[in-house]
Chains A and B, each alone.
Chain A
Amino acid sequence: MNWLQRHIRPEQIRELSLLLLIVIAILVFGSLIDGYYTFRTFNRIASSVAIITVVAVGQTLVVLTRNIDLSVGSIVGFTAYFVGTLIASYNSINPLLAVVIAILLGAGLGVVNGALVAWGKVPAVVVTLGTLAIYRGVLVDLSGAKTVTTDSLPQWLIDLPLLNVVPIGSLDIRALFALALIIVVLFHLGASYLSFARRFYAIGSNPEAAQLIGLPLKGVVFFAFVICGALSGLGGFMMLARFGNITVEAGRGLELNVVAAVVVGGVNIFGGSGTVTGAMLGAVLIGTLEQSLFRLGISEFWLNAVLGLLILLAVASDAVILQRLRALWARAELKLIADAPKKGSQP
């Protein structure tokens, strides 16, 4: 077993190569676009990444349990619009209360998804494809297709995305990106150190065995959808803060970006393995592509095609490359074990 194999697991190679891919993408776009290496580019990418990341963290939990939530785009739009309307009507509302309402609203929509999947025994793809359309439909109907406009919002909300939380030299870490980073750190630690969170991995890894040792399968799946809904609600609030103008179309198609981020980030679409940090790296790559292709004047339809290609490549590489890496590691480990007694006999 060489140094590399001792210190790095195949799954981590995945994340490292993603990092490399991001660097390459930035270098390529830097050579194609004049004035690419500016803080403006960074901020643009960062605020786009922030929303995808927060929702992708929730999606990661769902995918870990062998499910998928396609309704996240609609939940983001739903909460962005209704919290926007609420704030527009009550400009004096406590900012924190507004955030909490967004999260609860999202969680409530997640409850519907989770209950139908866990106890209704309807496959997640079907449930969330249905709610994707239903939530959007309800939104269009209730809103009367009106729009939330920036001038109806209080000043603090308009200032929020520009708020510079951590100035590093002349580089800004702005509020939305900082929030996303906090969420990622919290959930990464939680997923690594909370007994409860390990159940997400266990259930996705081998549901039959999980059932046999009495893990609450349905409860965990339900909970994953609720958290995903809650984080999508938070994402909705972030979208409101970022754009100010919210139409009934807000967040449409976001599920593609989010699922792409999660899958490209190395979360196994068949459940059981993957990290929140990986999902964030996936979101960074996608955010970079999105903003850079936009600046190159390439249509967003092409971006969608690129995202689709990335998903397919990620899943295919999971099946092929990761298998091989694992086999390589396992062989090295066997050799290590086989060598162990020999060493022991020569004190």
Chain B
Amino acid sequence: MTLDREYASVPGSDGLGNVPILEIRGVTKRFDATQALDGVALALYSGEIHALLGENGAGKSTLIKIITGVHQPDRGQILLAGRPVLIRSAAEAQRLGVAAIYQEPLLFPDLNVAENIFISHQDRGAIVGWRRMFQEAEAILAELGVALDVRSPARGLTLAAQQSVEIAKAISMNVRVLIMDEPTASLSAHEVRELFKLVRDLKRQGVAILFVSHRMEEVFDIADKITVFRDGRLISTRRRDESTPQSAIADMVGREIDMLKARPSTARTDPILSVVNLGRQGVFEGVTFDLRRGEVLGFAGLIGAGRTDVGLALFGIEPATSGTITLAGKPVAVRSPREGMNLGIAYVSEDRRQLGLILPMSIFANVTLPSLRRFLNRFGLIRTGLERKTAESFRTRLAIRTPSVDVAVANLSGGNQQKVMLSKWLNTHPSILILDEPTRGVDVGSKAEVHAIIGELAAEGIGIIVVSSDLPEVLALSDRVLVMREGRQMAILDRAEADQESVMTAAMGQRPADSTNGRAL
């Protein structure tokens, strides 16, 4: 994609000859093997709310980090009010009038509200004028219509109140560009309405707002323009009245389907696991599904939708607080990972480094760790020879590429680490295998191997749950796809119904539109 075409896809001016307050030209950023941003061009005008949409990993966060000075672009330019600028740090971005509000506000819990509002002001002199600071903070909050005690510490404020403080902070700095990264993710409906009032106020005052959200209805409620990202590229920028949720979703998922070949189904008829109305207070609720022997059930949804939490509950790491789990016809309670293991459940974590593997330890020690009791001799000492033999068999079976099973796991590639983790849990002889992001950070070749292994395991009759943010992967592997959104189960789609658009539509909380409408652009 050439730069010229990129420019052409963005309106160079708003038709009134105004200069954009923030303009991004041909920005490119690469992290190792990942092309995070590829020639992105975007223009933001004063008094405009511009929404960014895209799946996880589409490049929105990287773009925000570049605008706020956290990352530097490899190529490309940022212009503020027509002047090229270099933004080397978040502090510098703030000085230039660019501020960001994140999902979790970054306040100082021990400082009071007024101090939090004015903390970035370096120009208020060496001596703190408390009385004046309190008055000015009260004035800003009153203008926003927010009732807060400016003298009380920020500790203990609700998330919504903390966001009000962040907005007050932005106003106090006379920001020209305000970036809001999923500000509504943890707010109640009422709090969202209050927040949107503030955002519209800011817009009237001429602030340009870049608004990132995964909630379609919010985006179409508040945004003037909507830009969609996919795979690090800007796909489209449209005015709200020229866009529909369906067209936006179509832009988000693109047309590049069938890159992965679908796995032949090996599902049998007998359910091995039945889950009814499973929930964990405040995290997820109402999850109901059957898992059959030899079936692969995909869990799709955006990050934070609660998919991982269901997996953690099934394995007993964060036990469920409501609902029932029936395993091979018997109702069970899984209150700890030990219980989960004894019931024949295995959970392969998404976080290889933190939760999955003990990196400095050898491959064989990692493989036998959860089932170590089977490797003890009659004196309670570990039978290292048997450990090695077992690890060797997995090395052959899963094609783990290593000179020996004595090698420390830290020295293996991502794909091979993943295979060690699989070995470790297969060695507990599970009847149910939960795989959380099994191919994250794994190269293409290893990915295909892991997929093949998943197919073989299913064919052996293991019931497999695959949690993945990689939609083509979920579609290729799964017999059925369970879609979650904000802690709720949105749909269970059969293989025939499940495609990128139907899954993404459910994940974004839209009613499934009839497919012709969704595809028409």
Bound-state Cα–Cα, A327 to B115, Å: 21
Q: Which of B122-130, B388-396, B492-500 contacts A (4 or more CB under 8 A)?
A: B122-130
Select from chain B the residue with minimum beta-carbon distance to A197.
B128
- Chain A residues contacting B125 (CB-CB under 8 Å) are 195
Is B520 an interface position by the 8 A CB rule? Answer: no
Distance to closest chain A CB from B6 (angstroms): 30
Give B315 Cβ to nearest chain A Cβ, in Å. 30
**Scoring A residues 303 to 347 as 1 if CB is less than 8 Å from chain B, else 0, what string do you get?**
000000000000000000000001101100100110011000000
Q: List residues 1-58 of chain A with CB under 8 A from any CB of chain B.
A: 9
User: Once bound together, how far apart are the Cα atoms of A118 and B75, in whole Å?
Assistant: 33
Out of B94, B147, B155, B157, which one reaches A214, CB within 8 Å? B94
User: Interface code B182-194, partner A: CB below 8 Å = 1, 0 otherwise?
Assistant: 0000000000000
With both chains docked as a complex, state the minimum distance between the C-beta of B244 and any C-beta of chain A, in angstroms. 37
Is B92 a contact partner of A198 (Cβ separation < 8 A)? no
Q: Is the CB of B91 within 8 A of A205?
A: no
A225 CB within 8 Å of chain B: no
Q: Does B107 contact A (CB under 8 A)?
A: yes
Q: Which one of B92, B111, B148, B153 lies within 8 Å of A202 (CB-CB)? A: B111
CA distance A206 to B130 in the complex (A): 21
Against B, the Cβ 8 Å flags (1 = close, 0 = not) of A271-288 are 011000000000000000
Partner of B92, one of A193, A196, A214, A326: A214
Which A residues touch B521, using CB under 8 A?
none
On chain B, the residues within 8 Å of A329 by CB distance are 152, 156
B89 within 8 A of A: yes
For B107, the chain A residues whose CB sits under 8 A away are 206, 209
Beta-carbon contact of A201 and B148 below 8 Å: no
Q: Mark A202-228, 1 if CB is under 8 A from B, else 0.
A: 101110111111100000000000000
Main secondary structure of the interface of A (DSSP, over half): helix
Interchain CB contact under 8 A, B110 and A201: yes
Give CA–CA (A210, B111) in the complex, Å. 12
Nearest-Cβ distance from residue B437 to partner chain A, whole angstroms: 25
A8 → chain B closest CB, angstroms: 12
Distance between Cα atoms of A31 and B279 in the complex (Å) = 61
Cα-based distance from A209 to B156 in the complex (angstroms) = 17
B contact residues, range: 20 to 34
Q: Residue A201 contacts which of B106, B108, B120 (CB distance < 8 angstroms)?
A: B108
Do A205 and B149 have beta carbons less than 8 Å apart?
A: no
Give A104 Cβ to nearest chain B Cβ, in Å: 24
Chain A residue, CB-CB nearest to B95: A214
B386 at the interface (CB under 8 A from A): no
Minimum C-beta distance from A130 to chain B (A): 25
Is B92 in contact with A205, judged by CB distance below 8 angstroms?
no
By the criterion CB–CB under 8 Å, are A212 and B90 in contact?
Answer: yes
B119 at the interface (CB under 8 A from A): yes
A211 to B91, CA, bound (A): 8
Q: What 1/0 mask marks residues of chain B from 77 to 104 whose CB sits below 8 Å from any chain A CB?
A: 0000000000001111010000000000
Whether A337 and B106, one on each chain, are in contact in the complex, defined by CB atoms closer than 8 angstroms, is no
**Neighbour of B128 across the interface among A195, A214, A333, CB < 8 A:** A195
Are A327 and B119 interface neighbours, CB within 8 A? Answer: no
A97 within 8 A of B: no
Closest residue of chain B to A208 (Cβ to Cβ) is: B106
A206 lies within 8 A of B128 (CB): no
Q: Is B90 a contact of A198 with CB atoms below 8 Å?
A: no
Minimum Cβ distance to chain B for residue A208 (Å)? 7
Q: How distant is the Cα of A10 from the Cα of B137 in the complex, in angstroms?
A: 23
Interface status of A147 (Cβ within 8 A of chain B): no
Q: Let me know if B119 and A213 touch, CB within 8 A.
A: yes
Contact residues in B for A204 (Cβ distance below 8 Å): 110
User: Given A195-B127, A327-B156: A206 and B106 within 8 A (CB)?
Assistant: yes
Task: Tell me the smallest distance from the CB of B93 to a CB of chain A, in Å.
Answer: 9
Once the chains are docked, how many angstroms separate the CA of A212 from the CA of B100?
A: 10
- In the complex, whether A192 has a CB less than 8 A from a CB of chain B is yes
Task: Evaluate contact between A196 and B126: CB separation under 8 angstroms.
Answer: yes
| 8 Å CB contact of A198 from B89, B109, B115 | B115
Q: Mark B54-92, 1 if CB is under 8 A from A, else 0.
A: 000000000000000000000000000000000001111
A70 CA to B111 CA in the complex, in Å? 27
Residue of A nearest to B151 (CB): A9
With an 8 A cutoff between CB atoms, is A194 at the interface? yes
Q: Complex Cα distance A96/B94, Å?
A: 46
Report, nearest first, the 9 A-B pairs whose CB atoms are least far apart.
A214-B91, A209-B106, A330-B156, A272-B110, A205-B110, A205-B108, A273-B110, A212-B90, A213-B120
Known: A195-B124, A337-B147. 12 other contacts (CB 8 A): A195-B125, A196-B126, A198-B115, A204-B110, A206-B106, A213-B90, A213-B119, A214-B91, A214-B92, A272-B109, A333-B149, A333-B152
- A–B pairs, 17, beta carbons within 8 Å: A194-B127, A195-B124, A195-B126, A198-B111, A201-B108, A205-B108, A205-B111, A206-B107, A206-B108, A209-B108, A212-B106, A213-B119, A214-B89, A214-B92, A329-B156, A333-B149, A333-B152
